[in-house]
Amino acid sequence: MRRTYLGEFEEIVLLMVAILDGEAYGVTVSQEIEQHTGRQVTFGTVHNTLIRLEEKGFVNSLLGGATAERGGRRKRLFKVTALGSRALQDIQQLRNELWQLLPPNTLKLGGS
């Protein structure tokens, strides 16, 4: 099975889109990342990553939901596609398998 490579930040953004479940757009995604990871990301980074994810086919988007706060401009709302959710699950499964292979105590010694 051939996997599409997902970068670390891409994975986080894709997860955020999944978490936000229909409410994902530039603002919410960057706010969530900031809140959950404490990382200060520029809007441009999020914007570019969303575009790249869409190019790779992990998300799709549509325009809608104009509000007065945005000066009447529409937002681009993102949704995870089947391919995107498969990719997330693959990563999760791979990690689980890898965790299973981990000998006990290894991490405790080196980790804390």
Chain residues binding another protein by CB under 8 A are 25-27, 30-31, 42-45, 47-48, 51-52, 54-55, 63, 66-71, 73-76
Residue 18 or 27: the one with the smaller Cβ distance to another protein is: 27
Question: Token pair of 55, please?
Answer: 């190019």
Under 8 Å CB-to-CB from 102, ≥6 apart: which residues? Answer: none
In the complex, least distance from residue 104 CB atom to another protein, rounded to whole angstroms: 44
d(CA 92, CA 77): 25
Residue 45 or 81: the one with the smaller Cβ distance to another protein is: 45
How long is the chain? 112
Strands, E assignment, 23-109: 59-64, 75-80
In the complex, least distance from residue 10 CB atom to another protein, rounded to whole angstroms: 13
In the complex, least distance from residue 93 CB atom to another protein, rounded to whole angstroms: 30
